[in-house]
């Protein structure tokens, strides 16, 4: 009889312990989301952010692409297609931008004032025309040579971990296509890119681009808007 009563007591006790946990969690903020109906969860405080360096959709900061084709050559599944026309010898469109890597993991993209070849990191570095990795409108704004002072930033040399030097852009890029339906997200193409213009988005935008039609996964970048010329206009080819 004693055993019978003890069993009833244990049964009730364990149910109450379980209910206590359930009731406590009932008043805690949600950690699950009704995805995809609720897709702005990245902004909510109780959720971990997408980690920096996550390999999402590829993005090319096309104005800084020098057309070297290293990414196309190294891609194991041939998902990058590049066609370009080299400028006549001695000519260039512009210099690619500097990418300044800070010791805290952040990156700043802009043009370092003066030469970037022999930087003295004992002194502050001033960057102008600061832009973002993924802002196409900012690209256009920058090329309009905006004198906006907000795009200038001075940073202490001590904060800098490394700097990507500028490269002359000597190719008109007629085609730069990435077929993300083939991509296996290995990241090799971004590793070899000398200007670091090719990156993988580590934001929600870099994850949410699925489609029922494979053709929608071919992303095209071109410089036509920046060249300021009609698409049908012939480009003078190099000798």
Residues lying near ligand SF4 in the complex (CB under 6 A): 58, 60, 65-71, 74-77, 79-80, 82, 183-189, 192-195, 197-198
CB 166 to ligand SF4: min, Å: 12
> Residue 47 or residue 235: which is nearer to ligand SF4 going by CB?
235
Helix (H, G, I), strand (E, B) or coil at 64: helix
Q: What is the spatial distance between Cα 65 and Cα 109, in angstroms, rounded to a whole number?
A: 14
> Residue 17 or residue 184: which is nearer to ligand SF4 going by CB?
184
> Residue 68 or residue 155: which is nearer to ligand SF4 going by CB?
68
CB 48 to ligand SF4: min, Å: 24
CB 58 to ligand SF4: min, Å: 6
Structure tokens, 152: 């200038």
Q: Please report where in the chains the tokens 């991509």 appear, as a residue.
A: 183
Helices (H), the chain: 2-26, 70-74, 136-143, 188-192, 224-227
Q: CA-CA distances (angstroms) from residue 9 to 6, 14, 15, 22, 188?
A: 5, 9, 10, 20, 62
CB 79 to ligand SF4: min, Å: 5
CB 220 to ligand SF4: min, Å: 14
Q: Are 137 and 61 in contact (CB under 8 A)?
A: no
Structure tokens, 118: 């022999």
> Residue 41 or residue 227: which is nearer to ligand SF4 going by CB?
227
Q: What is the spatial distance between Cα 223 and Cα 235, in angstroms, rounded to a whole number?
A: 12
> Residue 15 or residue 77: which is nearer to ligand SF4 going by CB?
77
């Amino acid at each position: 009889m004693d055993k019978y009563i003890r069993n009833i007591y244990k049964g009730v006790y364990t149910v109450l312990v379980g209910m206590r946990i359930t009731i406590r969690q009932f008043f805690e903020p949600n950690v699950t989301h009704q995805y995809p109906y609720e897709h702005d969860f990245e902004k909510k405080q109780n959720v971990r952010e997408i980690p920096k360096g996550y390999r999402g959709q590829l993005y090319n900061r096309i104005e800084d692409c020098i057309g070297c084709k290293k990414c196309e050559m190294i891609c194991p599944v041939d998902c990058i297609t590049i066609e370009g026309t080299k400028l006549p010898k001695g000519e260039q469109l512009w210099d690619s931008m500097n990418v300044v890597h800070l010791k805290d993991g952040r990156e700043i993209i802009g043009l370092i004032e003066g030469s970037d070849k022999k930087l003295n990191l004992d002194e502050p570095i001033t960057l102008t025309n600061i832009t973002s990795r993924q802002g196409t409108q900012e690209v256009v704004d920058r090329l309009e040579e905006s004198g906006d002072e907000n795009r200038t930033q001075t940073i202490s040399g001590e904060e800098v971990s490394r700097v990507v030097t500028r490269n002359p852009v000597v190719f008109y890029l007629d085609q730069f296509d990435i077929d993300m339906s083939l991509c296996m997200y290995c990241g090799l193409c971004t590793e070899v890119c000398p200007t670091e213009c090719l990156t993988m988005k580590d934001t929600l935008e870099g994850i949410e681009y699925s489609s029922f039609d494979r053709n929608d996964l071919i992303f095209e970048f071109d410089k036509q808007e920046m060249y300021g010329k009609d698409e049908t206009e012939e480009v003078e080819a190099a000798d």
